Amino acid sequence: MKNEMTMVEADIWHPVQQQQLFRSLLDAFSYPGRIQSCTTEPSIALLSALLDGQTTLSDPQDLLDESVWPKLEARRVPYDLAAFILLDGSRAPERAPKLGTLEEPEHGATLLLRVAALHADSASELRLQLTGPGIRQPVSLGVNGLHADWIAARNDWVSDFPLGVELLLCDGQRFVALPRTTQIKIGGAA
Amino acid sequence: MNAYYELPMEDAGYSFGFLDEYAKKEVRRCILKAISVPGYQTPYASREMPMGRGFGTGGLQLTLSLIGADDTLKVIDQGSDDSVNAVNLRQFVQLTCPGVQVTEKTQEATLIQSRHRIPEKPLTEQQILVLQVPYPDALVVVEPSEARRKVMHGEADYSRLLVKLYEDVVRFAEITLSHRYPTRINGHYVIDPSPIPRWDVPRLHQSPALVLLGAGREKKIYAVPPYTVAEPLVFDDIAFRVEDFRDSNGNRIACRCCGSTESFLDELIDDAGKVTHQCSDSSYCEEHQETISARKQA
C-alpha cells in the first residue's frame, strides 16, 4: 500500500499530481519571478499538466523522448504554428513563434526553455530585473545557461501588447514563469 | 438541489471535481493565458454543468479546475454564505470533491467563489477569488457585434464607452452605473468586473490575491492578476466614488446587527415600511458581532 502511494506521488500523469502542478503554475504566472519547485524534471511535468489532444506542441531540437509523445497526446506541429514549444535555452533564439493577433492574443505561444539553474538571489551568469503585474517590489532573478540573446528577442516579441509570448524557464527541479506583461531588464539590482 | 440528491453513479463514476480531465486542462490553459493578458476575455469551451447557465456555471468550472483535496472553499452569493445559490454550489463541490474543506470564514478559505461581492476582509496571497460573471463584456452597451468589440478591445479603444459615461454626467450629473462598473486593467483592457457594487471596485486594485472571472454562458474567462493596476473608468474632473451610506444628517449609517460603520450595507424594508440597514457580507457581520460581545464581557 505504501509503495502504491509513493508511486502515485511521483506520477506526473496522475490527475492529483497534475492539479498540484497546475497550482504551482498558477502561482508562477500570478507572481512572475517567484521560483516554484517541482518533484520531477519540470519541463516534462509542466507539459503533462497542460497538454492534451486539443493543443499543439513543437519540439524542434528533439529534446523529448519519443515515448513521451503518445502520453502528451498533443499534435506535433512546426515551430511557427505551435501553442507550446520546448527549447534548449542555451542555444540562441530563432525566428518569432506565434504571437497571437490583436483580436486573439491568447494564440501567442508558451515557450518552455530548459536552463542550467535558476536562483533567486545568489550570483549567476545572467541577472534579470523584473517588474510588472504580479510583482509588488521589483524582483531579481538569476539564470545560468540561458543564451544572452533570449531576453532581447523576447522583449522584442512582447513589445506590441497584447501580442506576445509566455516564457517558462525550467532547470532540473524548479521553474519560473515570465508572462508577456513582465518587464525584464538585464542587470543586477540597483 | 435537495439534500438527499445523489449523483447518478455509472460504472466509471465521476472523477474528482465532476469535470473530466480534458475539460479541466482546457480551463487551466485558458486561465494561464487570461493572467498573461490581464483583462482579456479568453474564450473557452464551457461545458454543460448539472445546473442552468446563469447560475454560476462559469465560476463553478473555474473552481472545479482549480480545486484540490487540500483546499478550503468558501462560496458566497451577494455577500451571504447561506443564500440558495451559495448553498447549492457548496453542496455540489462537497459532493464531487471528496476531502475538500468548506468554511464560512473569509480568512480560512484558500479558494473563494463569489457572486456579486468581494469579501470585506482583505484577501491574501494565499487566496484565490473566483467571481461569477453574467455579462463579461463592458462594451456590450455600446457595440452589439462581438467581432467589432474584439477589435475595439485589442486597440484599447474605449471612446464610445467614455461617451456613454459622459452622457450620464450631462443628463444626471452622475455616472448612473451602480454595479458592473467598467474598470481598466493594467492600462489596457477594460473589463466588466461582474456585478460587484462600486464599493468593491477599489479592492481589485493591487490586490494581493489573484482574481479570476468566469462567464459560463458567454464562454469567457478573464483575470485580474495580483498587484495589478485596476482603475475605474472616469474623467479627470469627475472622480470615481463609491456608494454613500450617510443619512439625511450626514451621519454614516450603522449595520443594525453588528453596528459596523465600515462595511457595504444592504437596505431592508420591513412590513411596516421601516427602512433598516445590515452588512451585506454575513461572515464579516457575524465576526464583528462576536468581537463586540467579547469586548463587552471583558
Q: Model confidence over B34-68: pLDDT tens digits? A: 999 999 999 999 999 988 888 899 999 999 999 99
CATH fold label, B21-135+180-232: Rossmann fold (3.40.50)
Provide the strand spans (E) within chain A: 36-37, 56-58, 75-76, 84-88, 110-114, 117-119, 126-131, 139-144, 166-170, 174-178, 183-186
**Tally of CB atoms within 10 A around A39:** 13
Instruction: Give A66: exposed, middle or buried? Use CB within 10 Å, 0-12, 13-18, 19+.
Output: exposed
Return the C-alpha torsion angle A32, A34, A35, A36, nearest 10.
-90
* Residue B258 is a catalytic residue: yes
In chain B, pLDDT over 70 holds for what percent of residues? 96
- Give the C-alpha separation, A12 to A40, whole Å: 8
Contact B25 A51 (CB under 8 A): yes
**How close, in Å, is residue B189 to chain A by CA atoms?**
9
Catalytic residue from among B17, B39, B56, B214: B39
pLDDT by residue (tens digit) across A46-56? 999 999 999 99
Here the ipTM equals 0.93
In chain A, pLDDT over 90 holds for what percent of residues? 86
Three cell numbers at A91? 542555444
Asked if A82 and A60 count as a contact pair (C-beta separation under 8 A), the reply is: no
pLDDT at A120: 86
pLDDT by residue (tens digit) across B187-232? 999 999 999 999 999 999 999 999 999 999 999 999 999 999 999 9
Binning pLDDT at 50, 70 and 90, where does residue A159 land?
Answer: very high
Chain A, residues 62-81, CB within 8 A of chain B, namely none
Instruction: Give A85: exposed, middle or buried? Use CB within 10 Å, 0-12, 13-18, 19+.
Output: buried
| A176 has pLDDT over 70 | yes
* Residue B97 is a catalytic residue: no
Three cell numbers at B207? 490586490
A-B Cβ pairs (cutoff 8 Å, strict): 108
pLDDT by residue (tens digit) across A59-73? 999 999 999 999 999
Asked if A147 and A126 count as a contact pair (C-beta separation under 8 A), the reply is: no
What is the biggest distance separating any 2 CA atoms in chain A, rounded to whole angstroms? 54
Query: Taking CB atoms and an 8 Å cutoff, what residues of chain B touch A180?
Result: 36-37
pLDDT at A9: 44
In chain A, pLDDT over 70 holds for what percent of residues? 93
H or E element in which residue B276 lies? strand B275-279
**How close, in Å, is residue A179 to chain B by CA atoms?**
5
Instruction: Give B51: exposed, middle or buried? Use CB within 10 Å, 0-12, 13-18, 19+.
Output: middle
pLDDT by residue (tens digit) across A60-119? 999 999 999 999 999 999 999 999 999 999 999 989 999 999 999 999 999 999 999 999
Determine the average pLDDT of the residues in B62-87: 95
pLDDT at B9: 63
Question: What's the pTM?
Answer: 0.93
| B93 has pLDDT over 90 | yes
Binning pLDDT at 50, 70 and 90, where does residue A2 land?
Answer: very low
Residue that has been written with the C-alpha cell 433598516 in this structure: B276
pLDDT by residue (tens digit) across B144-193? 999 999 999 999 999 999 999 999 999 998 888 889 999 999 999 999 99
Instruction: For residue A175, give the nearest of A134, A133, A114, A126 by alpha carbon.
Output: A114
Which residue, among B14, B19, B32, would best test binding to A if mutated, counting the most A CBs under 10 Å from its CB?
B32
Residue B282, SS3 per DSSP = helix
List helix spans (H) across chain A.
2-10, 15-30, 42-50, 69-72, 149-157
Contact A162 B186 (CB under 8 A): no
Binning pLDDT at 50, 70 and 90, where does residue B10 land?
Answer: low
Determine the average pLDDT of the residues in A149-169: 96
**Tally of CB atoms within 10 A around B253:** 15
Question: Dihedral sign, CA of B59, B110, A178, A71?
Answer: negative
Binning pLDDT at 50, 70 and 90, where does residue B92 land?
Answer: very high
List helix spans (H) across A51-148.
69-72
Instruction: Give A187: exposed, middle or buried? Use CB within 10 Å, 0-12, 13-18, 19+.
Output: exposed
Instruction: Give B236: exposed, middle or buried? Use CB within 10 Å, 0-12, 13-18, 19+.
Output: exposed
Q: Which of A69-83, A109-123, A131-145, A169-183 has the lowest mean pLDDT?
A: A109-123
H or E element in which residue B266 lies? strand B265-269
Which residue, among A104, A161, A180, would best test binding to B if mutated, counting the most B CBs under 10 Å from its CB?
A161
Domain A2-186 has CATH 3.40.50.11310: yes
Q: Which of A8-17, A32-41, A133-142, B131-140 has the lowest mean pLDDT?
A: A8-17
Contact A180 B36 (CB under 8 A): yes
pLDDT at A121: 74
| A190 has pLDDT over 80 | no
Contact B36 A135 (CB under 8 A): no
Determine the average pLDDT of the residues in A1-18: 66
Instruction: For residue B134, give the nearest of B58, B200, B83 by alpha carbon.
Output: B58
Three cell numbers at A122? 545568489
pLDDT at A4: 46
- Give the C-alpha separation, A22 to B28, whole Å: 7
pLDDT at A122: 66
B279 φ, ψ (degrees, to nearest 5): -55, 140
Nearest CA in chain A to B155: A102
